[in-house]
Structure 1
Amino acid sequence: MREIKFRAWCGEQKRMFNKVLIGNTSDPSHEDYTAHCIYRDGCWYHSDEHDSVEFMQYTGFKNLEGKEVYEGDILSDVESEFEFFLARVHYDESQGKYVLLDWRGEYTGDLDEWYECPIVGNIHQNPELLRD
């Protein structure tokens, strides 16, 4: 069975929560979690601060360094037939799989072919990596 877990980016706090408990729980302060997130008024919120959050799901892949690969991660050493570049992990709902997109948002490959590459950042904390 695949492991389902999330991390969450809180833009207001400029903070990444790496272990997130989603929904209601009898013990939201449990020490295993860095954030307890709840759904209210059409948005997800970090319950302690009432700031909205954006979730990134674990893809089920780990790179060669053993780091878990999440949606929004930026991978390096992804080579096309023309150049060396960086790519971000994105879930493509129409294909039902994780893919890699370049800085223009164009498809560069399937994650299952490139997941072993180093993770150099993510789209929230390191957006400059994907700028032209």
Structure 2
Amino acid sequence: MGREIKFRAWYKPLGVMIQPDKLEMINFDTKVLGVYMEMEGMGYHVLRMYDFELMQYTGLQDKNGREIYEGDILQDDYGAGEVEWVQEHCAYMVFTRNPSIYHRLESDGKLVQSEVIGSIYENPELLEARGDDN
């Protein structure tokens, strides 16, 4: 059985995170122009692709049971790092800046050592501040 497929989006014009109930791509001739997003029972909203950053759920939870998405900042034994999809490894990995390394997420479904402390859109200072400590 595969993981649950869901997304959230950082809406740039308002600087807010959106958790859509339903997401449908709008495309013409295979060019995605935007999406319809149903949000909190308020109906569909049309958003242009360049107005937001789409982040996919990794299928994992942190040590507190919080869902982990691309763009989240995790604190673990390696320090604070950003969750990214790394195509060459076909895996979600965490990139820490100091030291500059990628490491794999635990794959048992719930991460016992990692905690989501923010996201790169809402809290970019968490990565910068922690990177300057060493």
- TM-score using structure 1 length: 0.72
Is the contact made by 1:19 and 1:35 (CA closer than 8 Å) also made in structure 2? no
Question: 1:3 corresponds to which residue?
Answer: 4
Q: Could you say what secondary structure the match of 2:125 adopts?
A: helix
Runs of 4+ in structure 1 off by over 3 angstroms are 27-38, 113-116
Deviation at 1:112, TM superposition (A): 2.2
Whichever residue aligns with residue 18 of structure 2, its letter is: F
- TM-score using structure 2 length: 0.71
What stretches of structure 2 of length at least 5 have no aligned partner?
27-35
Q: How many residues are matched? A: 116
Q: CA 1:33 to 1:118, structure 2 compared with 1: closer, same or farther past 3 Å?
A: farther
Deviation at 1:89, TM superposition (A): 0.6
Are 1:57 and 2:56 counterparts? Answer: yes
Question: 2:77 corresponds to which residue?
Answer: 79
Question: 2:18 corresponds to which residue?
Answer: 17
Distance of 2:5 and 2:56 partners within structure 1: 7
Is the contact made by 1:74 and 1:87 (CA closer than 8 Å) also made in structure 2? yes
Question: 2:122 corresponds to which residue?
Answer: 125
Q: CA 1:11 to 1:34, structure 2 compared with 1: closer, same or farther past 3 Å?
A: farther
Q: CA 1:119 to 1:30, structure 2 compared with 1: closer, same or farther past 3 Å?
A: closer
Considering fraction of residues, name the structure with more strand.
Answer: 2
Is the contact made by 1:61 and 1:68 (CA closer than 8 Å) also made in structure 2? yes
Q: CA 1:69 to 1:30, structure 2 compared with 1: closer, same or farther past 3 Å?
A: closer
What stretches of structure 1 of length at least 5 have no aligned partner?
46-51
Distance of 1:123 and 1:35 partners within structure 2: 26
